[in-house]
Structure 1
């Protein structure tokens, strides 16, 4: 896909949680085509310790409002600076980058599993599935109820099941402990979140013969495959997550249980 370098206008910044903000961006021209699972590289202005762009998953694309949504976890100087953006300011973005999730076909039963800020790309994935006539099922995990993000919006597009580690909402435990996995069969699983969670999901998928894709969150600097800092070992050799991913079928990965 063609890539663009755009100065997008900040429409709003919403504090969803003490660690998460939702940034909505727009442009005077229609936003370019973007696929679920792709990401953008954003330029950080005003941070003396941040020199490289930061990769942020595409959370949602609202074509009617011409908006791009970015769900940002404020974990360092760069992302904290993003959280301080104000409506009307501009954010320079390179987009869309990477390869997204595989297309979903009618009749498939698909489970989207997310944890933490890893839920971000699954919202757009679920919305595109619903648009194509396939209702997704979401299984979202967090430490506690207050850490669950955007549940009302996820529910617009499919069934939503929840786990929390402390049992404050949904079932207690991790996503791979949810009773849904024993009660229903799925043709495909797509997942994004902390690596231990994704490895557990991948193990479940392999044991049950379910096709599974994971969206990796390796450290990425350039977003174009030039700096090699995000390399992942695969059955095809070392591949750059930013250029050859971030979405990979688990059959390609050399993960060890």
Structure 2
């Protein structure tokens, strides 16, 4: 099935400080095969937004894709202004997503804009009978979003670096403080958070990485990273999900 297509904006609403949720509708949604895959959006104005913007997928079904994005540059600032009814040229179902292996207890970890792609994974794991525990990390209370959605799936902890909401500290602090036990952990967030998780447990984790991408489907090699199991892996094809055991921590 063709991965490229046009999708129509259904809604585009604010979630938290500089964070928005966009719902898209279209046949291209059928191309998603696993939680953790991403979408690449064309926002070309011929000048400043030539390259497509890779976005993680928060939730999806056969005809809808929900994104949650943070306004950080020209491309996302343009997305913020888009209205229902407008159309986007997208590449859908890109990357290697999370495995839905049968396990008893899963720890879901999201940091900042790494929170959205963890929801569909958590929902699917819960649906197959896995006990889901979630830890969400943010900088401050004004940045917190989707807490209630994760609480509906299982025990959920929230932490903030400044202590203005939930537990003060980072996600590893919460795991240690609460003595959280798990069979596997799954995470997406800032690279420093992912490095800290690998230092904490480099055996039982799956981590979703972000990278600057030129094409989004492996041709340009621009998002290649070194790993322990191969000279390089492309985040857009062999990733964005990597096993904790193959991650090389940036010093």
Counterpart CA distance in 2 for 1:181 and 1:240 is 35
1:102 corresponds in structure 2 to: 99
Counterpart CA distance in 1 for 2:3 and 2:86 is 19
1:79 corresponds in structure 2 to: 76
Matched residue SS, 1:237: coil
Q: Deviations over 1:101-159 (max 9, x none)?
A: 1223142x111111110011101111111221213111000011110111122222222
1:68 corresponds in structure 2 to: 65
Determine if the alignment matches structure 1 residue 246 to structure 2 residue 240: yes
Structure 1 residue runs of 5 or longer lacking an equivalent are none
2:17 corresponds in structure 1 to: 18
Q: Which moved more, 1:89-98 or 1:129-138?
A: 129-138
Structure 2 residue runs of 5 or longer lacking an equivalent are none
Q: Deviations over 1:65-87 (max 9, x none)?
A: x3210111111101111111100
2:216 corresponds in structure 1 to: 223
Aligned-residue CA RMSD (Å): 1.8
Counterpart CA distance in 2 for 1:219 and 1:81 is 18
Q: Identify if the C-alpha distance between structure 1 residues 154 and 224 changes in structure 2 by more than 3 Å, giving closer, same or farther.
A: same
Judge conservation of contact 2:42–2:53 (CA < 8 Å) in 1.
yes
Counterpart CA distance in 2 for 1:38 and 1:29 is 13
Q: Identify if the C-alpha distance between structure 1 residues 3 and 200 changes in structure 2 by more than 3 Å, giving closer, same or farther.
A: farther
Determine if the alignment matches structure 1 residue 139 to structure 2 residue 132: no
Counterpart CA distance in 2 for 1:5 and 1:28 is 10
2:149 corresponds in structure 1 to: 153
1:38 corresponds in structure 2 to: 37
Matched residue SS, 1:221: coil
Matched residue SS, 1:186: coil
Q: Identify if the C-alpha distance between structure 1 residues 49 and 201 changes in structure 2 by more than 3 Å, giving closer, same or farther.
A: same
Counterpart CA distance in 2 for 1:187 and 1:228 is 34
Counterpart CA distance in 2 for 1:20 and 1:129 is 26
Judge conservation of contact 2:22–2:68 (CA < 8 Å) in 1.
yes
Query: Structure 1 length normalisation: TM-score?
Result: 0.91
Matched residue SS, 2:200: helix
Judge conservation of contact 2:12–2:22 (CA < 8 Å) in 1.
yes
Q: Identify if the C-alpha distance between structure 1 residues 163 and 29 changes in structure 2 by more than 3 Å, giving closer, same or farther.
A: closer
